[in-house]
Amino acid sequence: MVDYGLAKKAVVRSLHSGRASRGDVCDAQPYLLRAARHLGEPTERLCPVCERENVTHVTYVYGDSLGRHAGQAKVMSELVSMAHDYDEFRVYVVEVCQGCSWNHLTVSYVLGNGPPDRVGQV
């Protein structure tokens, strides 16, 4: 698991010190905002930029074994079954504020059964 909390703190600190503008950090694309609205999981944490709305977590999956599912946003309940059905794949969780468009990668980790068995192959 990789936690991007320190990188997030550095970005927020840059914003508050004036080294970065709000436009630099509040740049969520329309697809990400739509994914947050329809597939996101609400949190109890206030947005570090606008401090008016709670952020939403959007989870994306990537991996060669996922086929058409690669690059899609998924809800956490789907990850449980995917972890059993697919070989190793990477999960990325993005925090999104639907009010001000703040977004930042929070964590990434690996799920799945590992590489396919190679029994009997030379």
Residue 115: the pLDDT is: 60
Q: CA 42 to CA 57: how far, in whole Å?
A: 6
**Judging by DSSP bridges, how do beta strands 54-62 and 41-46 pair with one another?**
antiparallel
Give the SS3 label for residue 16: helix
pLDDT digits (tens, 9 = 90+) for 1-22: 999 999 999 999 999 999 999 9
7/91 Cα distance (integer angstroms): 18
Mean pLDDT score, 81-102: 95
User: What is the number of other CB atoms lying within 10 angstroms of the CB of residue 10?
Assistant: 12
Which amino acid is residue 23, in one-letter code? Answer: G
pTM of the model: 0.89
Confidence band of 60 (pLDDT split at 50, 70, 90): very high
